[in-house]
Chains A and B, each alone.
Chain A
């Protein structure tokens, strides 16, 4: 069975959600294949972050069905969702690091608290992921001692510690300067290309979105190199534009740029 025909990692079917009278999602459907990435674009309040919260089961839809790795999550209880969440990692907007814990405790939280793995083993894994995001010496710092970019990188490290199969990024570069934002983009690219993590990136930063979609990470002799991705690789990263609670566009970067739709054109300009 080819990868394209594999069971999707995430699937939405006619999902709708409204808060009071405000419709956030209006019957949206999409799926995400294993190892692929979806970049969700849209104006503020378009429901981008809501999609991630629905996948995690932090919110329940009013109607429709949501599958994660073949399990229907919209009808699971909080207790049943714990097993699904073990395969999911989420990078929250602003990081959402636990203020009272050190960087090491934040990054290893799931393994220290939720598993019976030996502490030495968890320490090794925490050191490994902190090294992956370039913060190996920051384990003993408190989150308040970190810059905005470092906090996001710690949040990425925390999300990937337990080796989830799917990573969800909620506005990972919002509020960061362009240089720092690029370092975060590169971490996301590395996880997609080197760790084969399926991912959904919610953002309204077009520069970052296209950077992630059009570049790839290559491991050459122990050193990670970033280069423009060939056209066939770019097919694995799809854009999804939300507008008025509906999917206004779904496709690769080249199709988005070539679209004649006036709304898309004005959004991209």
Chain B
């Protein structure tokens, strides 16, 4: 029992060490040549444009549900008309960044782990190295850059769709005037909220893609191993996003909302 625990602890520490090593290699690779610009553009398209549909659907329906639920609660206080304020603040500060990150984790994080995992178990990563290419520069950096750049943009789309979804429900079901809704949307947002809503997805994008790459590159055990890697990447990146969300929110509140 004790031996098993210490083994698990050792494995955990090794994973953390290897992950930190990957992050350091990415950091070095970002400031030295060669940079594979064409691969970065390909990944911007695959991660960003490829995730648009799922992000639009998630944002819209989240905003609609948010309007429905908060409308019911606000009715108890006779404050139905401020539903726009609740929808915009919740979407921009929290739900937009987190839900977008979780949806992209499901779509992109799993895909990256499966793709790199398949390459690892079929010796394609070794072949890359044998052909004189650095897998970190060729495979990891383009994905990490694309994920970090695209997640804030996808979050903006998600926020916009969520607020529009809230408007549909507010006007059609809650019978709140459109002008009142939009007025409240603007009143519910402060500049600091917008900064928070953009800084968080920047970190989420980096975390979810780098975890996907880390798990993918360390895949062993054939096709079964690829399946396990995909699951581990999604679970690890989802938990990572939520943990980072908590600490980053705490930090940003301390920095931005003092006094």
Contact = CB atoms under 8 A, between A and B. Distances in A.
B242 interface: no
Contacts of B127: 90, 92, 96-98
Nearest to B25: A78
Contacts of B134: 78-79, 82
Interface in A90-105: 90, 92-94, 96-99
B131 A109 contact: yes
B132 A53 contact: no
Given A93-B123, A96-B123, A114 B132 contact: yes
A110 interface: yes
B129 A110 contact: no
A201 interface: no
B129 A85 contact: yes
A88 interface: yes
A82 B132 contact: yes
B131 A110 contact: yes
B124 A98 contact: yes
Interface in B95-152: 118-119, 122-124, 126-134
A88 B130 contact: yes
Nearest to B131: A110
**Residue of B119, B122, B124, B131 contacting most chain A CB atoms (<10 Å):** B131
B123 A85 contact: no
A89 B129 CA distance: 11
Contacts of A82: 132, 134
**Residue of B123, B124, B130 contacting most chain A CB atoms (<10 Å):** B130
Contacts of A113: 131, 133
A86 interface: yes
Interface residues of B, number: 14
Interface size on A, as a range, is 20 to 34
Nearest to B130: A90
A194 interface: no
Contact of A99 (B124, B126, B133): B124
Nearest to B39: A113
Given A92-B123, A94-B123, A99-B124, A56 B132 contact: no
Contacts of B119: 98
Interface string A60-89: 000000000000000000110010011011
A58 interface: yes
Nearest to A92: B123
A89 B132 CA distance: 10
Nearest to B28: A79
Contacts of B130: 56, 58, 85, 88-90, 92
A51 to B, nearest CB: 14
A196 to B, nearest CB: 21
Interface string A229-248: 00000000000000000000
Interface string A94-132: 101111000000000110011000000000000000000
Contacts of B123: 92-94, 96
A8 B130 CA distance: 21
Contact of B129 (A58, A99, A158): A58
A158 B127 CA distance: 10
A163 B133 CA distance: 17
Contact of B133 (A53, A79, A114, A158): A114
A81 B134 CA distance: 11
B132 A85 contact: yes
22 contacts: A56-B126, A56-B129, A78-B129, A78-B134, A82-B134, A85-B132, A86-B132, A90-B130, A92-B126, A96-B122, A96-B124, A96-B126, A96-B127, A97-B124, A97-B127, A98-B119, A98-B124, A99-B118, A109-B131, A110-B131, A113-B133, A114-B133
What are the 10 A-B residue pairs with the smallest beta carbon separation, nearest first? Answer: A96-B123, A96-B127, A90-B130, A92-B123, A110-B131, A114-B132, A85-B132, A82-B132, A96-B124, A56-B130
